[in-house]
Amino acid sequence: MQETISFAPQLGQSTIAQWLWLIPAVPILASGVIAVSKQPRRKTASALAIGSLGFSLLLALIAFAHVLSGWMNGEAVRETANFTWIQVGTSHVDLGWVLDPLSAVMLVMVTFVGLLIFIYSTGYMAHDENYTRFFCFLSLFAGAMLGVVIANSILLLFMCWELVGLTSYLLIGFWYQKPSAAAAAKKAFLTTRVGDVFFLLGIVWLFGQTGTLLFYNGGAGSMESHALLGLLLERSAFGLSAAGAIGLLIFAGAAGKSGQFPLHVWLPDAMEGPTPVSALIHAATMVAAGVYLIARVYPLMQAGALAGGTTTALTVVTWVGAFTAVFAALIAVAQNDIKRILAYSTVSQLGYMMAGLGMGGVAVGMFHLITHAFFKALLFMGAGSVIHGCHEEQDIRRMGGLKSTMRVTFLTYSTGMLALCGFPLLFSGFWSKDGILEAAQHFSLSKGPFYMLVFGALLTAFYMTRQMSYVFFGNYRGHGHAHESPKSMTMPLAILAFFAIALGAIGTPAWPWFRAFLESKAVSFEWSGFSEPGLMALMGTSTVVVLLGLSLGWWLYGNRSPRADEPDVLEAAAPLPWKWLSDRLYVDEFYGLTVIAFYSWWARVADWFDRRVWGGIVAAVAWVFSWWAQLNRFLDANVVDGSFDKGCEELSTGGGLLSRVQSGRVQTYLRLLALAVIVLAAILIWSSRA
Amino acid sequence: MSFVFYFIAALSVAGALAAVLLKNTVHCALALTVAFAGLAMMFLELDAQFAGFAQILIYIGAVAILVVFAILLTRGSETPTDGVFSRKPLIGLVTAAGIFAVLGWAVLHSTQVLPHEMTKPTVTVMDIGNALMGRYVLPLEIVALLLTAALIGAVIVAMHEKAGAR
Amino acid sequence: MNPSVNPLTGYLLVAALLFAIGLAGALTRRNAILVLIGIELMLNAANLNLIAFWRYGPHPEALTGMMFAIFSIAVAAAEAAVGLGLVIQIHRHAKTTDLDAMNRMKG
């Protein structure tokens, strides 16, 4: 159901396209300035960070307006600005950035949500002593993420990708004194690294095959038809074309970053970081980077698809996404940490996005990404507000009854929760999720993903209701008094809540503006959009599923307030499956037994080798040298010095001996003279005779 | 080789030997005088009458007396206590023997042609005087100078130290 | 190489013998004066050589040999005077004429 985009030839570069690089550069610069400034300057740090991101937002809005105006004039805008970074002989390494509807939408989302979270952080991190460091890292992250968004060169994308991973590590491990936080940061970095290895392989293969690093380069880019054709013709292993294989490799990188099964294990642990970090990075932006990457290289993923069909790469993306959606939703049911439930929810929704991309195309997946960014950030920030209000308590069994004590938080949180569940009509999540379900319904290969995604929706509604009832309903089981959070924290919540509702409007079937914008097609408001066959039935099905989940959750949990030592209702009913789910289905343990066990064994082998073999060699060499040195010393002291001393002694003795010739007695001299005369005379006589 | 020659030769050699070997230094000086006399006779035998008489006058008359005076002035007449020969006299004897061997060998093994063996040269004092004033005037003057210097030198060297210091 | 025994040879041998004896005396005797005696003997032997060669050599009328011998005698006399003067001076200084004792130039 996806038509290839036909775009108009590249226009002359507009001013905003030329200055697009400022959008990531300014936050990175701000980060650098904060890094070298003194620690106590808190106001300066946050002002710099917020100011730089505000500036980036401004530029992003200008860029968006530019693309919008182009779209309204009926043109497909895709402006690139490329330059050569390194030139070695004939091959050159190019960098560049691109401004098209996809990047414009993403830019606005990232800067806007990011700015709100920055403002939120000034309140949330007000009591933290490493306030400036936090903003330094946040700013760096923002710059790197924006770099990923605008990158036209796959190398630049990778560089910013790695930078994003680095800042994620720094921010997860922000409270590095906590061993769990440090371990979580390391886990996040290493797990995404696994994906990144495959990503790098894909990059190298792509570069080798197409000869260019740029996506769009006036016909010569790797996402343009000439290169794609070449990739399709090249065969690789398992019956895949080069395009398919590279697509799978790139998906592996995206899977790592976006927490798809089996590389999802780092995301729940990443909740060790401060809540703004979880909101920004692990809900709205960084994890979305993987989805964005797939959207960016979609022409590659889709290359070779016949009309109405799909490619191997996209099929893999679909199945992995669908499986992850259900898998994570199941685990989320049995978690007791407020942030961990949201983390697994994020994993699940990312699975939805991937499935949407796989089955429905760029617009479907990206729409869910945008709406998810808003309501998930809202949910996380609301959770942060709750944690803050309950005095740093994170276990939902020790909360409760907050709907009266934290009204604003409750209202905004419910908005986000309903959006996530996909409550019909009013909330954006309904429209974006329905877009995915519709694509799944029309998926030609199998109906499996559809059923999985529907089941996932049921579970989503269920576990979110459970969480809400634990946290906001019933009576308060925590310590101290719960209090509402300051304005700096609740204001962003309100703004996000507004968008959680409003964004739905741009994706309804009556006015599919989002899709049209991304695909550079014309759009108009038509009620007939609803009369597509099967659409109303689907909307009805999803409504039923959501209501079923909500009511099931409410019926089981409702106003009940089980304390921490009491078992959960479901746990009492089915203790063993509950235990499996609450133990996160043992993926981490599996890794621990296989990968990590192997790795530590290998590390021990290497250590033994290093100490015994290489160390032995080094010690042997050192011993040889020391022996040689001693030999030299011996020779020097005895042979050289000795011989020298001996020589001098001999000389002295010889001199003594020779001086005896000078006896001082005349007759001795005379004798010698006479002897000499004899010899001389003899010689003379003999020679004269001869 | 006439008997005269052998006699004179024997006398000279005996005197020389005695001069070198005797213990008493004065006896040595006297033996030296005998050797000088022998040599003078040899000069006469060789028809070098002037040389011979000059030898007697100067050597026996002056040098030998001088030697005796020196001996007497240095108490050489006393018999030395630890022997007259120096330590290790062998080298000296061997060297002297070597010299004699070489010279003798040279003499004996060379062929000589003697054109004037039988003719006696007649040398008058006038001839000698002419030669001294003619051909050999320069050596004469030099020898005169030498003798003057030697005279002065000997006097200065042998002066008493008190006089020398002043 | 036929050795010719003629008067000259005799004189030359005697001269050589005298020379050797004088040398032996100069080299072996302890007393400084006896060394000078030995030197005188050597000089005399040389004079004998000169006269013998003058007599039996070519051109005896040139008087070369005789002149040489006379000058030699004169020089010998001068040398004996100075030498003995030196010996006397040494004797005054060191109270001995023993050559073995005079080794202040010992190296």
Q: C94 CB near a chain B CB, below 8 Å?
A: no
Summarize the confidence of residues A411-433 as an average pLDDT.
Answer: 87
Nearest Cβ partner of A678 from B86, B92, B98? B98
One domain for residues B93 and B39: yes
> Above pLDDT 70, what percent of chain A?
96
Best residue of C37, C42, C50, C93 to probe chain B, by most B CBs closer than 10 Å: C37
Domain count, chain B: 2
Interface of A with C (CB under 8 A): 659-667, 670-671, 674
Quick check: A107 and A23 in contact, CB under 8 A?
yes
Tally B–C CB contacts below 8 A.
255
**pLDDT tens-place string over residues B86-137:** 777 888 899 899 999 988 988 888 777 776 667 777 888 898 999 999 989 9
Q: Tell me the DSSP string of A331-346.
A: HHHT--BHHHHHHHHH
Residues of B in contact with A665 (CB under 8 A): 86
- Domains of chain C (ranges; CATH) run 3-101 (1.10.287.3510)
How far is C52 from chain B, CA to nearest CA, in Å?
Answer: 7
What is the C-alpha to C-alpha distance for residues A621 and A632, in angstroms, rounded to an integer? 16
> Confidence band (pLDDT; 50, 70, 90) for A299?
confident
What is the C-alpha to C-alpha distance for residues C1 and C11, in angstroms, rounded to an integer? 20
Top-confidence residue, A51 or A577: A51
Top-confidence residue, A450 or A283: A450
> Above pLDDT 90, what percent of chain A?
23
One domain for residues B103 and B31: yes
CB-CB under 8 Å, B92 with A667:
yes
Beta strands at A91-99 and A79-88: parallel, antiparallel or unpaired: antiparallel
CB-CB under 8 Å, B74 with C33:
yes
> Confidence band (pLDDT; 50, 70, 90) for A501?
confident
**pLDDT tens-place string over residues A320-374:** 999 999 999 999 988 888 899 999 999 999 999 999 998 888 888 899 999 999 8
Among A421, A450, A496, residue whose Cα is nearest residue A321: A450
> Residue B122 phi/psi, 5° resolution?
-105, 110
pLDDT greater than 70 at residue A151: yes
Res A661: pLDDT: 74
Best residue of A657, A666, A669 to probe chain C, by most C CBs closer than 10 Å: A666
What is the C-alpha to C-alpha distance for residues C23 and B20, in angstroms, rounded to an integer? 9
- Non-local (6+) Cβ contacts of B83 within 8 A are C30
One domain for residues B130 and B166: yes
> Confidence band (pLDDT; 50, 70, 90) for B59?
very high
Summarize the confidence of residues A175-182 as an average pLDDT.
Answer: 90
**CATH code, B107:** 1.20.120.1200
Collapsed DSSP state (helix, strand, coil) of residue A521: coil
One domain for residues B109 and B142: no
One domain for residues B132 and B117: no
Q: Which residues face A241 on adjacent strands?
A: A235
- Write the secondary structure of A450-495 as one string of H (helix), E (strand) and C (coil): HHHHHHHHHHHHHHHHHHHHHHHCCCCCCCCCCCCCCHHHHHHHHH
Sign of CA dihedral B42, B46, B47, B49: negative
- Non-local (6+) Cβ contacts of A261 within 8 A are A320, A323, A324, A327, A328, A351, A587
The CA–CA distances, whole Å, from A136 to A84, A130, A315, B12 equal: 30, 10, 40, 129
> Confidence band (pLDDT; 50, 70, 90) for B148?
very high
One domain for residues B162 and B111: no
How far is B128 from chain A, CA to nearest CA, in Å?
Answer: 33
Please state, as a whole number, how many other Cβ atoms lie within 10 Å of the Cβ of residue B152. 11
Least confident of A65-79, A145-159, A175-189: A65-79
> Confidence band (pLDDT; 50, 70, 90) for A35?
confident
Among A90, A101, A10, A106, residue whose Cα is nearest residue A56: A106
CB-CB under 8 Å, B86 with A682:
no
Residue B150 belongs to domain spanning = 124-166
> Confidence band (pLDDT; 50, 70, 90) for A631?
very high
Residue C65: in which H helix or E strand, if any?
A: helix C64-94
Collapsed DSSP state (helix, strand, coil) of residue A285: coil
Q: Which residues face A95 on adjacent strands?
A: A83
CA A110 to chain centroid: 15
Q: Looking at residue A508, what DSSP letter applies?
A: -
Q: What is the pLDDT of chain C when averaged over all its residues?
A: 87
One domain for residues B59 and B11: yes
One domain for residues B107 and B153: no
What is the C-alpha to C-alpha distance for residues A149 and B126, in angstroms, rounded to an integer? 143
Question: Which ipTM score applies to this complex?
Answer: 0.89
pLDDT greater than 50 at residue A159: yes
Q: Looking at residue A82, what DSSP letter applies?
A: E
Residues of B in contact with C70 (CB under 8 A): 50-51, 54, 128
pLDDT greater than 60 at residue A625: yes
Query: What is the torsion angle, in degrees rounded to the nearest 10, for the CA atoms of residue A412, residue A415, residue A418 and residue A424?
Result: 180
> Confidence band (pLDDT; 50, 70, 90) for A624?
very high
> Residue B43 phi/psi, 5° resolution?
-65, -40
The CA–CA distances, whole Å, from A341 to A335, A338, A364, A380, B103 equal: 6, 6, 25, 10, 134
Extract the tokens encoding A60.
Answer: 């992003």
One domain for residues B93 and B164: no
pLDDT greater than 90 at residue A198: yes
Q: Torsion-angle region of residue A585: left (phi > 0), alpha (psi -120 to 50) or beta?
A: left
Q: Which residues face A99 on adjacent strands?
A: A79
Res B31: pLDDT: 94
What is the C-alpha to C-alpha distance for residues B80 and A244, in angstroms, rounded to an integer? 131
Res C1: pLDDT: 41
How far is C2 from chain A, CA to nearest CA, in Å?
Answer: 13
Quick check: A457 and A545 in contact, CB under 8 A?
yes
CB-CB under 8 Å, A675 with B106:
no
Among A390, A570, A552, residue whose Cα is nearest residue A484: A390
Return the top range by mean pLDDT from A70-79, A448-457, A634-643.
A448-457
One domain for residues B53 and B12: yes
Residues of B in contact with A687 (CB under 8 A): none
The amino acid occupying position A281 is I
Q: Looking at residue A12, what DSSP letter applies?
A: P
One domain for residues B130 and B93: no
Residue that the structure tokens 């095959």 belong to: A209
Nearest Cβ partner of C52 from B13, B35, B46? B46
Residue that the structure tokens 């130290």 belong to: B161
CB-CB under 8 Å, B96 with A681:
no
CB-CB under 8 Å, A674 with C103:
no
> Residue A197 phi/psi, 5° resolution?
-60, -45
CB-CB under 8 Å, C102 with A664:
yes
Res B88: pLDDT: 77
Q: Torsion-angle region of residue A143: left (phi > 0), alpha (psi -120 to 50) or beta?
A: alpha
Quick check: A27 and A143 in contact, CB under 8 A?
yes
What is the C-alpha to C-alpha distance for residues B72 and B136, in angstroms, rounded to an integer? 38
What is the C-alpha to C-alpha distance for residues B121 and C55, in angstroms, rounded to an integer? 7
Assess whether the previous peptide bond of A262 is cis (omega < 30° from 0): yes
- Non-local (6+) Cβ contacts of A71 within 8 A are A77, A101, A517, A520
Q: Which residues face A94 on adjacent strands?
A: A84
> Confidence band (pLDDT; 50, 70, 90) for B53?
very high
Among A112, A25, A113, A137, residue whose Cα is nearest residue A60: A112
pLDDT greater than 70 at residue A175: yes
Interface of A with B (CB under 8 A): 665, 667, 671, 674-675, 677-678, 681-682, 685, 689
Q: C102 CB near a chain B CB, below 8 Å?
A: no
Collapsed DSSP state (helix, strand, coil) of residue A235: strand
Nearest Cβ partner of C99 from A662, A666, A674? A666
Taking CA–CA distances from C97, the nearest residue in chain B reads B74
Res A628: pLDDT: 94
Q: What is the pLDDT of chain A when averaged over all its residues?
A: 84
What is the C-alpha to C-alpha distance for residues B12 and A305, in angstroms, rounded to an integer? 147
Chains touching C (at least 3 CB pairs under 8 A) are A, B
pLDDT greater than 90 at residue B37: yes
One domain for residues B75 and B156: no
Extract the tokens encoding A490.
Answer: 């609740």
Summarize the confidence of residues C31-39 as an average pLDDT.
Answer: 91
pLDDT greater than 60 at residue A89: yes
Helix runs in A270-337, H state only: 275-279, 286-296, 298-302, 312-333
Summarize the confidence of residues C24-38 as an average pLDDT.
Answer: 90
> Confidence band (pLDDT; 50, 70, 90) for A7?
very low
Taking CA–CA distances from A666, the nearest residue in chain C reads C99
Res A323: pLDDT: 92
Res B12: pLDDT: 95
